[in-house]
Amino acid sequence: MSRSLQNRRLWTSSLHYALGAFFWMCAASLAAHAQVAPIGEKSMGDPAHDQLPDVLQRATIHQHLNQQLPLSADFRDETGRLLPLGSYLDQRPAILALVYYRCPMLCSEELNGLVGALEMLDLTPGKDFNVIVASIDPSEGPALAASEKALYLKRYGKPETANGWHFLTGDAASITALAQAVGFGYVRVPGPDGKMTQFAHTSAIMVITPEGKVAQYYLGVEYPPKEMRMALIDASHGKIGTPTELILTYCYRYDPRTGKRSLIVVRIVQLGCLITVLTLGGYMLVMFRRDAIQGGTHGTANAANKANG
């Protein structure tokens, strides 16, 4: 048997083992993901066997379509100006997101998903609609809001639309009034240091009419651009949409039942999948190059033997 053929068989056998390892590690990752509510468990299935922790039952979304926002509630924008919420609508429809700027997980994914969807729209912030991002953490202020606005406006890539983006902070009363109006539940929870500095909450954005009524909900962290476009156009005419299927993604790192942060476990397993893929790719590259070199060497030797013969 030729050395090249042996190498190919060895490579094939190793490939099978690597693929098997990759399959089982990814399966473990999915299993862990399904068991850990903190990083995106969906509220589906038999309630008797799929009960969410108490904290997540309070950190949910109730779709209050056609509900009037508290337009007189005061919020500071990223420049520090204190204005009533209605001023940020400016007689346009708006996309509203409730987040907190120091969120370690889901909020950045939500805002990145929003920016990604907006990049595919032929509508312009500040002209056709406004973007309103409001913090649920009363301890956050305009300086932090300004840095977040700069970050996501840069990712959007159209600095001339800055007047259509409003990153707001407010006191507890204003935040509570807004969250209750749109049905956005959240619960303060301990962070890694044990201090109550984080929040359990879901991910959702809302489309708001120019009059300040809730017209549509989009849940999760990825949003359909075509549907968002139609919702904004409908909202500009005061049209209210229909309820969205309630599949929730949760931002919740700390598990009070175990005192552990299960997200870290799942991330380690997912990292193992990535390492397996990279290792497999590197091994394939080395084996292909080795076979190519050996094939060239054997071809040269055979040619030389024929010439000598």
CATH of the domain at 246: 3.40.30.10
* pLDDT-above-90 percentage for the chain: 50
pLDDT surpassing 50 at residue 146: yes
CB 43 within 8 A of CB 52: yes
Q: What are the structure tokens assigned to 21, written together?
A: 């390892």
73 and 181 in a single domain? The answer is yes
In a domain, 41, yes or no: no
Tokens of 280: 């497999």
- CA distances, 287 to each of 292, 293, 297 (Å): 8, 10, 15
What residues make up the domain containing 17? 3-36+263-308
* Burial readout 146-172 (b: 16 or more C-beta within 10 A, e: otherwise): bebbebbbeebeeeebeebbbbbbbee
Q: Are residues 128 and 91 in the same domain?
A: yes
pLDDT confidence tier of residue 33, bands split at 50, 70 and 90? very low
20 pLDDT higher than 80: no
> Does one domain contain both 149 and 210?
yes
Does this model's pTM top 0.75? My answer is: no
CA angle (242, 107, 166) in 5-degree steps: 75
Secondary structure (DSSP) of 148-194 = HHHHHHHHHT-GGGGGGEEEEB--HHHHHHHHHHHTB-EEEE--TTS
Residues 232, 277: one domain? Answer: no
Residue 195 lies in a domain: yes
Within a domain: 46 = no
Kindly give the interhelix angle for 142-156 and 106-119, rounded to the nearest 10 degrees: 40
Average pLDDT over residues 137-149: 98
Contacts by residues 9-14 (CB-CB < 8 Å, ≥ 24 positions apart): 11/283, 11/284, 11/287, 11/291, 14/283
Q: 244 or 39, which is more confident?
A: 244
Q: Determine which helix (DSSP H) or strand (DSSP E) holds 83, and give its type and residue range.
A: strand 82-84
Residues 269 and 165 in one domain: no
Beta bridge partners of 84: 74
Domain contains 44:
no
Residue 237 binned pLDDT confidence (cut-offs 50, 70, 90) = very high
Judgement on whether residues 68 and 181 belong to the same structural domain of the protein:
yes
The pLDDT > 70 percentage for the chain reads 61
141-145, 191-195, 272-276 — which one is most confidently predicted on average?
Answer: 141-145
In a domain, 230, yes or no: yes
Q: How far apart are CA 263 and CA 37, in angstroms?
A: 9
How far apart are alpha carbons 309 and 228 in whole angstroms?
Answer: 76
309 vs 73, more confident: 73
In a domain, 175, yes or no: yes
**181 lies in a domain?**
yes
Residues pairing with 189 in the sheet: 198
Looking at the fold, whether 151 and 174 belong to one and the same domain comes out as yes
**Is the separation of the CB atoms in 168 and 134 below 8 Å?**
yes
Whether 296 and 219 share a structural domain: no
Total domains in the fold of the chain? 2
Do 304 and 199 reside in the same domain of the chain? no
Residue 11 has pLDDT above 60, yes or no: no
